[in-house]
Amino acid sequence: MSAPAKHVVAEDESGSRIDVVVARVSGASRAIVADAIERGHVTLNGAAVKRSTAVEAGDALSYALTPREELVATPQAIPLDIVFEDDELLVVNKPAGMVTHPAHGARDGTLVNALAAHVANLPGDALRPGLIHRLDRDTSGLLAVAKTDRSLRILGKAMMRHAIEREYLGLVLNVPEQPEGTIEGAIGRDEHNRHKYAIRAEGRPAVTHYLLRETLNGAAELSFRLETGRTHQIRVHMAAFGLPIVNDPIYGRRDPRVHLPGQALHAWRLRFRHPVTGAPLEFEASPTPAYVAAREALRA
């Protein structure tokens, strides 16, 4: 890491967020600046700050930024649970604990690394080739992957017009007052924690439908149908509704009866039309043994 750079806040910068000012004067991305702030490599008048800290004219900024290493989705011979495959697409059952695509903090061992070894020259973004949608690391279940540019384009449009039906199973703490319902709430990044999302007026519209499947002991199993696919959508909506997903490490809390590494959420069903033939396709993947064991524990 290079020696810290210095900057004195000008009059026209007064009132701005510190991450915005440092990004502007350094030319670095907001992500790099945010990372430096979290590491304590950005100070204001000698003191550590938050990203949202406002600066005033005359304040002394000090910052040392480390460029992030370039990410590459290298092929890795990792076993895949393939539910369906033809020349145009495949559907895989992702295990809990596997990151969908490379990111800082998870450079390899991801689903995309495994896909790159299984299918040469997947179409689309270099770090997200073939992906039509994504799942959180600890969410297990079904994912559709395009193998050709044609299928990626057609399925991408189908996703945008909500023509790909996704249904999830989840265990939640508490029991909903109504056996079924719809939660609408725009979702955006949490202004206090860049690793979280929240319902925010300026966020992107999000709609989640839920249905009670079973009442458990101080908990319940629900099924969820998504109209939109925002990051952490089910987890954010249910937490805001007073029904956090069991063992959610970000939006809920751990239940001592349950032994799961993360949230009890499983992408159960997937329905869409084949991008070339138009034939209806429907897939179902049973919950993982760990999820089933968690459900049994909550029945006791």
> So which residues are the catalytic ones?
136
Do residues 244 and 238 lie in contact, with contact meaning Cβ atoms separated by under 8 Å? yes
Q: In this structure, what token pair is assigned to residue 165?
A: 């039906």
Q: What is the DSSP string of 110-148?
A: SHHHHHHHHSTT--S-SSSTTBSS---TT-EEEEEEESS
**CA distance linking residue 38 with residue 193, whole number of Å:** 10
**CA distance linking residue 250 with residue 168, whole number of Å:** 19
**CA distance linking residue 229 with residue 207, whole number of Å:** 9
**CA distance linking residue 97 with residue 16, whole number of Å:** 39
CA-based Rg of the chain, rounded to a whole angstrom? Answer: 22
Reading phi first (left if > 0) and then psi (alpha if -120 to 50, else beta), residue 109 is in: left
Q: How many residues does the chain have?
A: 300
Reading phi first (left if > 0) and then psi (alpha if -120 to 50, else beta), residue 166 is in: beta
Neighbours of 68 (CB within 10 A): 12
Do residues 129 and 112 lie in contact, with contact meaning Cβ atoms separated by under 8 Å? yes
